[in-house]
Amino acid sequence: MKKKVVVLSGAGVSAESGISTFRDSGGLWDNYRVEDVATYEGWLRNRKLVLDFYNQRRKQLLEVEPNAGHYELARLETAYDVHVITQNVDDLHERAGSQHVMHLHGELKKARSTADPNYIIELDGWELNEGMTCPKGAQLRPHIVWFGEAVPMIEPAAELCAGADYFIVVGTSLVVYPAAGLVNHVPQESPKYVVDPKEVYAPIHNVTCVKEPASSGLKKVVDELLHIASRK
Ligand code: APR
């Protein structure tokens, strides 16, 4: 029976693929007001601005590739039951080969009906524009969890964390809840790793901090975990 590794990833794991993080200098929130492009109120105020914001990010996603960090997490699946819980809305974990990816904050490549939250489609290209409607005739919106909206996957994510034999936090400032609170569900005795070039405060026990970017930092962690698995 393979041991379970649960990963909590954030924007930093996609930084080396060329996708901006949110809170590093020059990040997305330096260039856009959250309330304008990542809240339901912003959507009601100026739907076109919100659609353009996500169109630009979706267009960029079609031009970038997974980086070594994503591939390291996929490599870990050779010896562990790996579950990636990501705050990211890109599909780079999937494209790198991770088999179990849970998106807490939605998915950039999907759109959802504003009349029926269960009507979710995969977008063909990068554009989601005004006038693109669901069969009921309602405007489609980005399938993204905006600030203040419910995070439907948080319960299953917490259950995954409660069963983690190992826990890896990578590329997240751990400042947005409820995602950041997931670290508290991991058993105290399970070894934890935090991979981030900056100091990240994680109120957890039994943690190893790897102050490096995801590409090199995750290689170190994966090498160690694969070594542990080979000894068993
Ligand atoms: N490798 C690893 N980590 C990195 C790298 C890198 N190459 N570059 C930056 N980082 C780290 C930063 O040091 C920071 O700790 O990634 C983290 C990025 O933090 P944020 O920009 O706050 O992104 P994130 O934690 O994912 O934001 C959470 O906030 O805006 C909302 O919904 C949005 O999902 C997002 C949530």
- Domains and their CATH numbers in the chain: 1-19+66-105+151-232 (3.40.50.1220), 20-63+110-144 (3.30.1600.10)
- Give the strand pairing for 140-144 and 106-113: antiparallel
| pLDDT at residue 202, as a whole number | 84
Residue type, 139: Q
What tokens appear for 173 in the block? 């400032």
Output the CA 231–ligand 1 centroid distance in Å. Answer: 34
Residue type, 228: I
Q: Which residues contact 104 (CB under 8 A, 6 or more apart)?
A: 85, 86, 87, 145, 151, 153, 154, 157, 179
113-162 tens-digit pLDDT: 999 999 999 999 999 999 999 999 999 999 999 999 999 999 999 999 99
C-alpha–C-alpha distance, residues 114 and 119, integer Å: 9
Q: Is 70 a catalytic residue?
A: no
Banded pLDDT at 205 (limits 50, 70, 90): confident
Indicate if ligand 1 lies below 6 Å from the C-beta of 107: no
Q: What does the pLDDT average to over 14-24?
A: 95
Output the CA 172–ligand 1 centroid distance in Å. Answer: 4
Ligand 1 atom at minimal distance to the Cα of residue 173: 15
Indicate if ligand 1 lies below 6 Å from the C-beta of 213: yes
C-alpha–C-alpha distance, residues 99 and 95, integer Å: 10
